[in-house]
Amino acid sequence: MQPNSFRFVNNYLVGRQATVDEFSEPLVKNESDSDRMMRLSTYVMNEYDDRLQKVERYKVKFQENKRFVDDAKKKSKLEATILEVTKVKEEWDSALVEVSKLKKSLPTEREVTVQEFLEALSTNTVMRWKSINERVNPSSSNSIPVVIRSLRMAPVLMSRPIRVKLAPEMPRMAAMAMEVRSIKRV
């Protein structure tokens, strides 16, 4: 049984005589004051221990709640950081897409060179097949040199400038001819 309050303790300490004890039970006639005081002090100590245990439980709960709040704050900061990183990544990806589009739109040096070469050819010269004799010296000194006849596209100057309509294959053939010449010069 638990008393309603500690008023019985206060009444006892002040010296008032009550007809009921702290547990709202009638006082026992044979019970001495010391027995009653022992029972009361036991009750007070038990109540004190219970409240101390409650305080300890509340402290533990408070620490857990504090940890949960800290974790939630860290999690929200982490989520905010993840959102920022995601935004930056999306911006970076879009920038990379734009760069790749720009790279595709810019002509390469080779394309520019071929285009300039073809423009120069179309104004004053015409590409024609030309027979070229090439001499190949074998590695051994006793062998006879071999003459290889090959056909190569070569620009031929025209006496009067005319525009020539080039077939779609012409730029490729001209580029290949330029590469073949540069390889043989080396």
**DSSP of 39-80, one letter per residue?**
HHHHHHHHHHHHHHHHHHHHHHHHHHHHHHHHHHHHHHHHHH
- Going by the DSSP 8-state scheme, the letter that residue 28 receives in this structure is P
Domain count, the chain: 2
Q: Do 56 and 113 reside in the same domain of the chain?
A: no
116 and 56 together in one domain: no
Is residue 27 situated within a structural domain? yes
What's the pLDDT tens digit per position in 125-154? 555 555 565 555 556 555 555 555 555 655
Structure tokens at 166: 């080039």
Q: Is 101 within a domain? A: no
Rounded mean pLDDT of 38-56? Answer: 91
- Residue 178 to residues 2, 30, 175, Cα–Cα distance (Å): 109, 129, 5
Residue 53 lies in a domain: yes
Residues 6+ apart with CB under 8 A from 10: none
Length in residues, the chain:
186
**How far from the centroid of its chain's Cα atoms is residue 159's Cα?**
65
The separation between CA 66 and the C-alpha centre of its own chain, rounded to angstroms, equals 30
Its domain, for residue 20, covers 7-61
Reported as a single tens digit per residue, the pLDDT across 91-110 is 999 999 998 888 877 777 77
